[in-house]
Amino acid sequence: MNKDLIIATHNAHKAQEISAILPTYRIRSLADYPNLPEVQETGRSFAENAALKARQVSTQVNGLVLADDSGLCVDALSGAPGILSARYAGEHGDDVANNRKLLAELAVLPALAPFRAHFVCAMCLAQNGQQLANFTGTLPGVITLSPRGTNGFGYDPLFVPDGFSCTLAELPAEQKNTISHRAAALRQLSEWISARDCSTCSSQGVTL
């Protein structure tokens, strides 16, 4: 029987990726809860933002809530875009503008090439306003100034993972979902849940 998991995001791409990586879970997202107020991401790190979203949403819905805050950190830009990745160019979720801004900033720094970078995914699992566990996944690689590929989303057309010659946007979704920062965090989540005995969790008020 599938387990229910509520993903604290309106990002359909994230929900689809998580659903593909966790096929034994019944995934719902905030699209299924249109009346919930928007959570303000005021944290100073990916982990803080994930915890804010998970705790707040879990006070308003029944069941396990998983929040994801993720982004791209480029060494040559002192870790930017970082927690501002989704709204780097100003408007939240404008992938084209975000990529354009990143390319413009790196284009004037040729001496710092190759541009080392890594994706980060911080996840927080919560229920009834209680933070249960945190998980973090990373994916190192380099930024190319020549976008390639039409798969994925965000900065995928610019990111070449270590050990590959193609960008994430050139990889089939099935392959990306085995190496990505999000997949790494979700493997930790699955291991954490599998290691918990349901009767113990129930005695603590946690329903798995």
Q: Which residues are catalytically annotated?
A: 69
Omega of the bond leading into 114 within 30 degrees of 0 (cis): yes
Tokens in use for 42? 């005021």
Tokens in use for 121? 């995914």
SS3 category, 139 = strand
Residue whose tokens read 């965090």: 185
- CB-CB contact of 39 with 8 (8 Å): yes
SS3 category, 82 = helix
Dist. CA 73–CA 117, nearest whole Å: 6
Dist. CA 24–CA 36, nearest whole Å: 26
Return the bridge partners of 65, or none: 6, 126
DSSP category for residue 81 = B
Return the bridge partners of 6, or none: 28, 65
The helix or strand, by DSSP H or E, that contains position 104, with its residue range, turns out to be: helix 95-107
